[in-house]
């Protein structure tokens, strides 16, 4: 198996010929240039894409470091090894500053050169894999990945196009659960200037306050009971990349103050630590609650909200853009066809009618779950309507009386609804049956009024004004 491409830049004919022949025998695809201009032509005009560039430093028509500085941006993963018979300290310093892998003096023992070449080849191969992986993600998460033909979807795509071209520091994404806040964050990261750096995600509602602080800021050994070693926090892990804080509205107020300071100072201090650590992080914050209203009501720090909302992007609920399903549904069917080996191609009009009549409380996530179930259970090219089982449309079980139906709530246990969707559906149905009387609804659900009000705010349930 060929290790990859190698460009040898050497003006001494005997040495250049010997090195080229030696590495061709080892399986390298070798090109040889005797001058800087010839090497430049090979790299830029002939589009030769080498893993390694093995070059003499001083060439008849100039210094090879100038060539490296010129072509380096287009050869992100190529490693440079320099050979010179009379190198200077400034040249070696400049070579290392430009990212040269090694700087060797002539004559160089061939066995030592082989070791350096093998090591540099492994490094360049790893870098190429990382860059190709990032490129694939870039293609997958371009702004066009936010699918939809509605005006609202077009506005979101236009905003994403602009945001991926500027180095923004913070952004707030609003919208109901399941509208695609995670997808938008990946688009912003992988289509933006930080795509080569980490994307770190944290659901602020999933952890208690103490654990959340440790996860965000990290800790030193002995900072608290059970802290047996040093832990780098997520902010530190996201350095030079993007930190996605989902459900940030659930973050405790005192921790919000600490987060604000870290964002403003661009520094953090681990729990139990004595020194501050500089960080450069792009923040994407998301919530299904109205953060602006929460900040006015004192439930969210207004200074943090204003610092995060450099840009704001609100994602539409699926019930308001049902025309987007015309593009979404075929794409989802094709995705699950590929994953499951099915061949669903035809979507009957009866299916389209049921989908358009549904209100989609779980938004695109609910649609995705539905498509996965129907494709997996399909037995031919037709999308199976019997497996839609949309919440609120299925009748009661056989033998169930109308009285029992009125006293109970039907929820399908088939994967079409996640726990949050079920919770919201139960609360909305109970409120409707009690005439939106929160006292009666809380009593029917066996919960306190405070608990019910918290859930109403969490899910953004609108109560009629009295």
Q: What is the pLDDT along the chain (466 residues), one digit of tens a residue?
A: 447 899 999 989 998 899 999 999 988 999 999 999 999 888 887 767 889 999 988 888 888 888 888 888 778 788 999 888 766 677 777 877 788 888 888 888 888 899 999 998 888 888 887 777 766 666 678 899 999 999 999 999 999 999 999 999 999 999 999 999 999 999 999 999 898 889 999 999 888 888 899 999 998 888 787 777 888 999 999 999 999 999 999 999 999 999 999 999 999 999 988 889 999 999 999 999 999 999 999 999 999 999 999 999 999 999 999 999 999 999 999 999 998 888 999 999 999 999 999 999 889 999 999 999 999 988 889 999 888 888 654 433 444 444 444 556 776 665 667 777 888 888 988 888 888 888 888 888 888 888 888 888 888 888 887 5
Choosing among 3.40.50.150, 3.90.1170.30, 3.40.50.300, 3.40.50.2000, the CATH entry for 141-316 is: 3.40.50.300
The single residue listed with the structure tokens 């919201």 is 424
Q: How far apart are CA 374 and CA 369, in angstroms?
A: 9
Task: Identify whether 241 is preceded by a cis peptide bond (ω within 30 of 0).
Answer: no
| Domain 318-397 bears CATH identifier 1.10.8.60 | yes
pLDDT at 400: 44
All CATH 1.10.8.60 domain ranges of the chain, comma separated, are 318-397
Assigned CATH class of 5-137:
alpha beta
Contact at 8 Å (CB) between 291 and 305?
yes
Copy the structure tokens of residue 210.
């103490």
pLDDT on residue 161: 95
Residues of the chain with CATH 3.40.50.2300: 5-137
Query: CATH 3.40.50.300 in the chain, residues?
Result: 141-316
Tell me how far CA of residue 44 lies from CA of 56, 57, 155, 381, in angstroms.
19, 19, 39, 50
Residue 397: DSSP 8-state: P
Neighbours of 413 (CB within 10 A): 8
What the block records as the tokens of 410 is 């039907």
Question: What DSSP character marks residue 396?
Answer: P
The alpha carbon torsion through 113, 115, 119, 125 (nearest 10 deg) reads: 70
**Closest by CA position to 332, among listed 321, 317, 347:** 347
Which helix H or strand E contains 415, and what residues bound it?
Answer: none
Q: At CA 207, angle to CA 204 and CA 211, rounded to 5?
A: 110
Which of the following CATH numbers is that of domain 418-466: 3.40.1160.10, 3.60.15.10, 1.10.10.60, 3.50.50.60?
Answer: 1.10.10.60
Contact 354, 390 (CB under 8 A): yes
Alpha-carbon 186 to chain mean position = 3
pLDDT of residue 347: 93
Residue 419 DSSP SS3: helix
Alpha carbon of 247 to those of 92, 323, 380, 455: distances in Å? 50, 28, 40, 14
């Amino acid at each position: 198996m060929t290790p990859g491409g190698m460009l040898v830049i050497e003006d001494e004919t005997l040495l250049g010929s010997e090195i080229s022949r030696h590495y061709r025998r080892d399986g390298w695809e070798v090109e040889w240039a005797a001058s800087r201009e010839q090497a430049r032509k090979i790299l830029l005009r002939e589009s030769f894409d080498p893993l390694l560039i093995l070059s003499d430093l001083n060439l008849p028509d100039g210094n090879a470091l100038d060539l490296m500085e010129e072509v380096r941006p287009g050869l992100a993963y190529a490693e440079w090894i320099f050979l010179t018979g009379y190198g200077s300290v400034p040249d070696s310093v400049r070579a290392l500053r430009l990212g040269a892998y090694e700087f060797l003096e002539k004559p160089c023992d061939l066995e030592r050169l082989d070791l350096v070449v093998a090591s540099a080849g492994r490094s360049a191969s790893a870098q190429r894999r990382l860059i190709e992986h990032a490129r694939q993600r870039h293609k997958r998460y371009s702004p066009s990945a936010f699918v939809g033909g509605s005006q609202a979807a077009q506005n979101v795509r236009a905003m994403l196009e602009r945001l991926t071209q500027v180095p923004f520091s913070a952004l707030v994404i609003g919208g109901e659960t399941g509208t695609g806040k995670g997808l938008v964050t990946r688009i912003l990261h992988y289509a933006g200037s930080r795509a080569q750096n980490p994307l770190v995600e944290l659901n602020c509602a999933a952890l208690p306050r103490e654990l959340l602080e440790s996860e965000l800021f990290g800790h030193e050994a002995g900072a608290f009971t059970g802290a047996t070693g040093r832990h780098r926090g997520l902010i530190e892990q996201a350095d030079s990349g993007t930190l996605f804080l989902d459900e940030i509205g659930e973050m405790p107020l005192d921790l919000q103050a600490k987060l604000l300071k870290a964002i403003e100072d661009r520094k953090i201090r681990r729990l139990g630590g004595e020194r501050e650590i500089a960080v450069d992080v792009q923040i994407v914050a998301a919530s299904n609650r109205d953060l602006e209203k929460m900040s006015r009501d004192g439930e969210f720090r207004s200074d943090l909200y204003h610092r995060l909302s450099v840009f704001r992007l609100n994602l539409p609920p699926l019930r308001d853009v049902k025309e987007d399903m015309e593009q979404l549904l075929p794409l989802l069917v094709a995705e699950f066809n590929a994953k499951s080996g099915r061949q669903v191609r035809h979507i009957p009009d009866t299916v389209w009618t049921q989908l358009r009549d549904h209100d989609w409380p779980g938004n695109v996530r609910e649609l995705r779950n539905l498509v996965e179930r129907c494709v997996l259970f399909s037995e031919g090219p037709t999308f199976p309507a019997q497996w839609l089982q949309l919440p609120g449309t299925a009748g009661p079980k056989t033998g169930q009386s109308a009285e029992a139906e009125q006293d109970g709530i039907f929820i399908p246990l088939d994967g079409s609804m996640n726990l949050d969707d079920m919770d919201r559906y139960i609360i909305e149905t109970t409120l409707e049956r009690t005439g939106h009387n929160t006292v009666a609804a809380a009593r029917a659900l066996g919960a306190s009024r405070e608990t019910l009000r918290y859930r109403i705010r969490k899910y953004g349930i609108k109560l009629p004004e009295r």
